[in-house]
Amino acid sequence: MTTEQDLMLAGKLYRSGDAEIAQLRQRAQGFTRRYNATTELNTVERKKLLAEYLDVPSNDAYIETPLHLDYGFNVHLGKNFYGNYELIILDTAAVTIGDNVMIGPRVSLLTAGHPTPVDIRNSGIEYGHPITIGNNVWIGGNVVVNPGVTIGDNSVIGSGSVITKDIPANTIAVGNPCHILREISDQDREIWERQAQEYHQLIG
């Protein structure tokens, strides 16, 4: 027999108030309470908790507190992940994040969605569509990533953006709704390489 969790994981309509689904959310809430009770001095415990509830093969992710999740088991983090304060991940569907990704404060990754007709929405069924973030992506503060979005490798998302459509690789995107500002260019590299060289000279 098909369960509500089966439907949820398949990206189909499911009933979020189902007892099994509710129990999974309660488990995640227990985890976030434990995680958010840790201090910045206890990095070992934080890594242990993340590895227990999220998919973190490299075991080197670092997420500031507070962290909020729907389930946790649908979150997949690549190498060298950093999440700033008040990260919200509604992982009704998979949230897959590549290597060397930095996420600013108060960012929301929202895979959950609801039907637009009010009678169907009020019946308590909803859906989730996956979010995929490529390698080497920087997401500024207060960004909202909506269901079904893919952000390409090496992209930069400006603070306050609301992303409703895919963002191609190697671009800078900003705004509400988020749009492509420009591609990351060789000129960008030249500017930042000069500043990096200056830094290394000053620091010795």
Residues that are catalytic: 114
Question: How would you class 49 by CB atoms within 10 Å of its CB: exposed for 0-12, middle for 13-18, buried for 19 or more?
Answer: buried
Residue partners of 155: CB distance under 8 A and separation at least 6 = 134, 137, 138, 167, 168, 169, 170, 171, 172, 173, 184
How far apart (Å, rounded) are the C-alpha atoms in residues 28 and 12?
22
Instruction: Give the C-alpha distances (Å, rounded to integers) separating 83 from 20, 68, 77, 94.
Output: 29, 11, 10, 17
- Alpha-helical segments (H) within 102-164: 118-121
For residues 24 and 4, is the Cβ–Cβ distance under 8 A?
no
Evaluated on CA atoms 94, 20, 90, 72, the torsion sign reads negative
How far apart (Å, rounded) are the C-alpha atoms in residues 199 and 203?
6
Angle at 171 between CA 169 and CA 175, to 5 degrees: 120
